Each structure stands twice: as structure tokens, then as C-alpha cells.
Amino acid sequence: MSAMMQNKTPPEAGSDTNSVSVGAKTPSELQPQLASQQETTQTPTPAIPTVHSPPPDGGLLAWLHVLGGCMLFFNSWGLLNTFGVYQTYYESGVMFERSSSAISWIGGIQAYLVFMVGLFAGPIYDRGYFKSLIVFGSFAIAFGHMMLSVCHEYWQVLLSQGIVVGIGAGCLFVPCASIMPAYFSSKLGLAMGIASSGSSFGGVIYPIVLSRLLDRVGFPWAVRVIGFIAFGTLAIPMTIMRMRFKVPKARALLDSTALTDWPYVIFVLATMVGFTGLNVGIFYMGFYPFNRGIIDGQLSFYFVAIFNAASTVGRIIPNAISDKVGPFNIMAPCSLITGVLLFCMVAMRYEADAIALTVLIGFFSGVFIAMPPVCFSALTKDRSKLGTRVGMGFGIVIAISMLLGGPVAGAILGREEPLHWIGAWVYAGTFATASGFMYAVIRVMRSGYGLKVKG
């Protein structure tokens, strides 16, 4: 009986499991087929391979991922760059009465969570859940805006816009920064520059949409429209983006060797210092000239769009140049110039001054968003630790700057007129300038003092 059972022919695909086909193959002919079927059953092929080839560094699929990455930045940092418009609207007291510092905590917590969530999103990404992160983040951003549209009190806005949208944006930022090196190598700076320009496009489009709709349909429906736009544009990366490979072992949350890697440590601290100064500009770029009576309320909404439009160019051109001259030869001078321009905000007197300074600060500060992923790559020799070091840098240290920039500047301003604007801009300029000197130190540590050396 056992011999008869062993000689039975395996059922054909799509046939009844209890049937025996006529004209079956002999047992000797079936042995290779049975072995192959057993091997396939026991060791299924993974959906995402762990062994990968070098990045294609171009081609349709790679550039489609740049488009998808652009949409991820559009709806993560693009929304964060829009907060200056919300700051100006909340300062009017239409929804609630709070100090500038308290209002800035909404945007500060939102930006902080983008980095902090990234610390935990990295290992999730490594385990192959790239698509899950994007889907969850997209729904969180849309849901947060729908809840914001029905808010009437400060704590409600803090919960929906600060926490829910911040968590959703954090789920989008890390996958975008992590997946680009899988598709680009020598053109990584250009690819990241184009992808990160999506945050500037978001910072242009969203403020204009919000300002144009506030008077026509009111704040609730204006915010709902932004939520619909965000979810619609996020359908692009949900559809076209995918992982090329999955790392054999998920990254650790911490890399102890990074603490003794001084170029890495100085870079993380420099970026934290630079973001602290830059966030003052992002939060108050539109409210400052309006409060000083230099521009009217309607134009103040467009200043955020002007700032981000200039930043679009400032994220593509410097990144493309960095592929030739090195990332720190770009970071150091652009950061120094940003700091000097933030000092110049004190001398603003006319509308032309306001527009010129907004454009220049937007352009030169673009490196703070676009260049860090490239710099992390340049500072990490062991590529298997890149994700961990990016997560450590952004999630633990750089994230702190989001709580030090706008909220501290708001505390410097005070609650009574006239606001202490000189102190706020000196605070911003000092931090941005200091970051430029720190980037210069890293450049010397890596490449020496030669002016024509790539570094």
C-alpha cells in the first residue's frame, strides 16, 4: 500500500486534488519534479530581494522614484514650510488667543515629530514595510487636516496639526531619504536636490491655496482642500515607488561607534544649530514685515510662498554642484551667508527690502533641507550603518532644533507690543552663522585647507 501511495502522480495545477490523471508519468520521471516542488514549498522566494546590484543611476524607473520622492517631500516638509501662514493666521486671534511662543509650539512639535518618528521608521523600512509607511503616513496627514478643519481651541489644533500631521509626515520623510541611494550613486546629489525641491513646491502652493480660500470659503474648508490635495498627490508615490532590495539585517536604533566619529558628531551638532536659526525665518518670515507695517496682511501670506519658491532653486543648484565639488564646500558658505542675511532682517524698512531678503534667505537656506542626506552618506564609510546614523542624527539631535527655533524666538518676542524683533533675528543669525563655521571645520578635517580640493 505504501508503494502505491509513493507512485501516485501529483495533481495537475487547477485539477481536483483527489483525481488521478490518465497516462501519468513514471515514478523515475517524477522524482526531479517532486523534489523541485518540495524545495519551492519549503524555501519560498522573498518578495523583496536582499542581494542587490549597483544603483542604476538613471533610467525611467529611477527618475520616477525622484518624482515620487518629490511628492513625499511636498507633503512632509512642504507642509512644515507652510506653517508661517498658519502662524500669521493664528496670531490674528480669530480662532484662539495665545502668545507667539505658544503658537510656535504647534509648528515646533510638528517638525520635531517628523525627525523623531523617523528614528523608529528606519528599522521598519529595513524590514521591507516601505509601502506600509507611505500608506499610513498619507492617511495620517489627510486625517489630521480633516480634524484641524473642525478645531476651535488651541489644544485641538496642537493635537491635530502638531501631533497627527507631524507623525504622518515623519512616516514619509525617512523612506524618501532612504530609498534614493538605492537608485542613484554619482547623481545622488542631483536626485536628492530635485526630490527635496518638492518641499519648496509645497511651501509655494499650499500657502497660496490657503490664503486664496480663507476669504472665500473660510478656514475649515480651506484646510479640507489642503487635505484633499495632500492625499491626491500622495497617491503618486503609493503607486510607483517600491524598494529595490531589503537589507539582510534591520538597522539598529543606535551605533555607538558614531559617538567617536568626530566629523559625524560635529556635523549633527552643526545641522541642529543651523536648523535652530533657520526655523525662526520659516515661522516669522511673513508675520515680521506685517507686524512692522511694511506689508499688508494679504501680502504676508505670499511671503511664505516667495521664500519657498527661492528655496526650490536653492535645493537643486547647490546639490547638483556638490556632486562635483563636495557637499561641505557647499554647506559651509551657504550656511554663513544665510546667517548674515538673517542678521540683515533687523534693517528691513521697505517692501523691496522684505522681498529681496526673503528671496535670498530662501535660496541660500535650501541646503539645510537638501544636503544633509548627501552629507550623511559622505561621512559614513560602512554603508550598512547609514540608516542608523541618519536616524540617530535626525531623530535624537537635529530634532531638538525644532523645539529651540520658533518657540524660543517667540519667547524672545514677548506678548506685548512692540515685539522684540531685534533679539529674535540676532538669535536666528547667530545660530545659522555658527553652523557655517562648524561645517567649515568638518571640511578641513576631511580635506585639508586647499581651496580647490573636493570636500
- Tens digits of residue pLDDT in 188-236: 778 887 887 888 788 889 988 988 898 889 999 999 999 999 999 999 9
Is the distance from CB of 224 to CB of 97 less than 8 angstroms?
no
DSSP 345: G
Does 79 score more than 50 pLDDT? yes
Mean pLDDT of 79-102: 88
344-402 confidence digits (pLDDT tens) = 999 999 999 999 999 999 999 988 877 887 888 888 887 777 777 877 888 888 888 88
88: its cell numbers:
500669521
State which CATH number among 3.40.30.10, 1.20.1250.20, 3.40.50.2300, 1.10.580.10 fits the domain covering 60-447. 1.20.1250.20
Report which of residues 178 and 49 the model is more confident about: 178
| Residue whose C-alpha is closest to residue 363's, from 322, 401, 317 | 317
Per-residue model confidence (pLDDT) at position 52: 60
Per-residue model confidence (pLDDT) at position 437: 95
Is the distance from CB of 57 to CB of 184 less than 8 angstroms?
yes
How far is C-alpha 333 from the geometric centre of its chain's CA atoms? 23
Does 104 score more than 70 pLDDT? yes
Per-residue model confidence (pLDDT) at position 283: 86
Mean pLDDT of 281-285: 87
Distances (CA, A) of 42 to 35, 37, 39, 71, 77: 11, 9, 5, 40, 45
**Which residue ranges make up each domain of the chain?**
60-447
What is the pLDDT confidence band of residue 40, given thresholds at 50, 70 and 90? very low
Does 118 score more than 80 pLDDT? no
DSSP 54: P
Is the distance from CB of 408 to CB of 427 less than 8 angstroms?
yes
255: its cell numbers:
551605533
Please give the Cα distance from 99 to 414 (Å, whole number). 8
What is the pLDDT confidence band of residue 48, given thresholds at 50, 70 and 90? low
Please give the Cα distance from 305 to 123 (Å, whole number). 35
Per-residue model confidence (pLDDT) at position 163: 95
Does 432 score more than 90 pLDDT? yes
Per-residue model confidence (pLDDT) at position 50: 54
What is the pLDDT confidence band of residue 4, given thresholds at 50, 70 and 90? very low
Per-residue model confidence (pLDDT) at position 16: 43
Alpha helices in 241-327 (DSSP H): 262-284, 287-291, 297-325
| Residue whose C-alpha is closest to residue 203's, from 146, 281, 133, 105 | 281
Please give the Cα distance from 168 to 371 (Å, whole number). 23
Report which of residues 96 and 385 the model is more confident about: 96
What is the pLDDT confidence band of residue 441, given thresholds at 50, 70 and 90? very high
Report which of residues 26 and 355 the model is more confident about: 355
- Mean predicted lDDT score pLDDT of the chain: 82
DSSP 25: P
Does 18 score more than 80 pLDDT? no
Please give the Cα distance from 430 to 273 (Å, whole number). 9
The answer to whether the pTM exceeds 0.85 is: no
Mean pLDDT of 73-100: 88
Q: CA 5, 11, 15 angle in degrees (round to 5)?
A: 140
Q: Give the relative orientation of helices 406-413 and 100-126 as an angle to the nearest 10 degrees.
A: 170
Per-residue model confidence (pLDDT) at position 373: 78
244-279 confidence digits (pLDDT tens) = 776 667 667 788 888 889 999 999 999 999 999 999
330: its cell numbers:
557647499
Which single residue is written with the C-alpha cell 535624537? Answer: 396
